[in-house]
């Protein structure tokens, strides 16, 4: 009998076609977000689920899915999945790292440049018909070249951001639990420093850590106060890594020069004070939003879900210990 797979939301069609070859697919081809109750109901017969970061795969939901063998997340981050609860049931959890590294690093750099050179403000100024003439001090921003970039979290994406920074002639420091191998750090011209030193030295601080209990509000009042005056904070990781209210207050106090955010604490809600500020660039969680990348992410998740359900090894298990 073919295994049953729930696909919780709209994905690129090739992923569905691929799953349908060997599975019975319950495809919820919708743009809406499923709440926990509906998700649990839809999962009652499923052996596999292809899910997204909006799906609450909590311990409670997992407990209501007795046949579940695999949770395949269409994203690199999987903080919406209770991996401990899944592992306790020997349910494999997979994600989609690698394919989105360069796209996310590109978007990070786009945000850095947009904040430094005030691109959204300048574009609004033009579209609103306010541009009259060239002026020597019109919409001046700040330098990128020669500035210090502090990268917090030095995994694939953090390192890809460092590569871009090198090309822009920036000095790079990074903070991470484990320093990168010497040759990797040397190749990127990046120096490992403690977080407090990074915050003190950096003109731009960019966050690239996963969301865990340890990184929730990693950037809050003490860290914002420790940042160099006028520095710009960039977040393309997960919203709750930054205490958004504290960030709004720090901007208000003039401690920071600005912020550029692709992710938020309570998506899609945005702290209203941030929406009102001109020194904040805001994007709707589009870090990896490149058509080829997103379709590869869907395909990877589908393939790993199918693999587990057919006794094959998935490419990207996040809890490989349950496979042995």
Return the range that interacts with ligand GLV (CB under 6 A); candidates 16-24, 74-82, 218-226, 313-321: 74-82
Nearest to 12 by CA among 235, 301, 223: 301
The binder of ligand GLV chosen from 23, 46, 61, 100 (CB under 6 A): 100
Return the range that interacts with ligand GLV (CB under 6 A); candidates 43-51, 75-83, 86-94, 268-276: 75-83
Largest CA distance in the chain: 72
Consecutive H or E run containing 235: strand 232-235
Q: 321: Cβ–Cβ under 8 A, 6 or more apart, which residues?
A: 87
Nearest to 237 by CA among 118, 152, 116, 110: 152
Return the range that interacts with ligand GLV (CB under 6 A); candidates 6-14, 70-78, 218-226, 273-281: 70-78
Q: For residue 104, what are the CA distances in angstroms to 60, 64, 260, 270, 322? A: 32, 34, 14, 21, 29
Q: Which residue in 164, 238, 303, 316 is the catalytic one?
A: 238
- In angstroms, rounded to a whole number, what is the distance separating the alpha carbons of residues 182 and 142? 32
Task: Say whether 158 sits in a helix, a strand or coil.
Answer: helix
- In angstroms, rounded to a whole number, what is the distance separating the alpha carbons of residues 304 and 73? 10
Classify strands 280-282 and 204-207 as parallel, antiparallel or unpaired: unpaired
Q: Decide if residue 76 touches ligand GLV (CB under 6 A).
A: yes
Number of Cβ within 10 Å of residue 186's Cβ equals 11
Residue 267 known to be catalytic? yes
Q: Which residue in 102, 201, 267, 273 is the catalytic one?
A: 267
Q: Could you say which residues in the range 29-58 bind ligand GLV, by CB under 6 A?
A: 53
Q: Decide if residue 288 touches ligand GLV (CB under 6 A).
A: yes
The binder of ligand GLV chosen from 57, 75, 81, 300 (CB under 6 A): 75
Residue 10 known to be catalytic? no
Q: Could you say which residues in the range 128-167 bind ligand GLV, by CB under 6 A?
A: none
Q: 125: Cβ–Cβ under 8 A, 6 or more apart, which residues?
A: 131, 139
> 3 or 287: whose CB is closer to ligand GLV?
287
Q: Closest approach of Cβ 1 to ligand GLV, in Å?
A: 33
Residue 285 known to be catalytic? yes
**Residues 228-267, mask of contacts with ligand GLV (x by CB under 6 A):** ----------------------------------------
Size of the site for ligand GLV (CB under 6 A): 7
DSSP letter at 241 equals G
Number of Cβ within 10 Å of residue 135's Cβ equals 9
Q: Closest approach of Cβ 236 to ligand GLV, in Å?
A: 8
Q: Closest approach of Cβ 229 to ligand GLV, in Å?
A: 30
Q: Decide if residue 301 touches ligand GLV (CB under 6 A).
A: no
- In angstroms, rounded to a whole number, what is the distance separating the alpha carbons of residues 57 and 39? 8
Q: Which residue in 142, 216, 277, 285 is the catalytic one?
A: 285
Q: Where does this chain bind ligand GLV (CB under 6 A)?
A: 53, 75-77, 100, 287-288
Task: Give catalytic residues, as residue numbers.
Answer: 238, 267, 285
């Amino acid at each position: 009998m073919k295994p049953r797979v729930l696909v919780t939301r709209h994905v690129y069609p090739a992923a569905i076609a691929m799953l349908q070859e060997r599975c019975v697919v319950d495809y919820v081809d919708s743009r809406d977000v499923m709440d926990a109750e509906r998700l649990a109901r839809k999962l009652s017969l499923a052996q596999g689920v292809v899910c997204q970061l909006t799906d609450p795969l909590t311990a409670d939901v997992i407990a209501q899915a007795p046949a579940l063998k695999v949770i395949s997340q269409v994203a690199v981050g999987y903080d919406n999945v209770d991996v401990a609860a899944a592992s306790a049931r020997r349910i494999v959890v997979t994600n989609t790292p690698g394919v989105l590294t360069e796209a996310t690093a590109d978007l990070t750099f786009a945000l850095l440049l947009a904040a430094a050179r005030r691109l959204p403000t300048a574009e609004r100024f033009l579209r609103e018909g306010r541009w009259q003439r060239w002026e020597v001090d019109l919409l001046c921003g700040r330098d990128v070249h020669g500035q210090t970039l502090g990268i917090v979290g030095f995994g694939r994406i953090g390192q890809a951001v460092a590569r871009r920074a090198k090309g822009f002639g920036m000095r790079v420091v990074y903070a991470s639990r484990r320093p990168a191998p010497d040759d990797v750090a040397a190749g990127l011209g990046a120096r490992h420093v403690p977080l407090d030193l990074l915050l003190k030295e950096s003109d731009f601080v960019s966050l690239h850590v996963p969301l865990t209990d340890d990184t929730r509000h990693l950037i809050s009042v003490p860290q914002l106060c420790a940042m160099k005056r006028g520095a710009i904070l960039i977040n393309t990781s997960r919203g709750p890594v930054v205490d958004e209210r504290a960030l709004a207050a720090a901007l208000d106090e003039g401690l920071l020069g600005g912020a550029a955010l692709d992710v938020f604490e309570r998506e899609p809600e945005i702290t209203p004070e941030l929406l009102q500020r001109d020194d904040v660039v805001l994007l709707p969680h589009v870090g990896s939003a490149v058509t080829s990348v997103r379709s590869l992410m869907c395909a990877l998740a589908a393939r790993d879900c199918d693999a587990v359900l057919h006794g094959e090894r998935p490419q990207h298990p996040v809890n490989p210990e349950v496979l042995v």
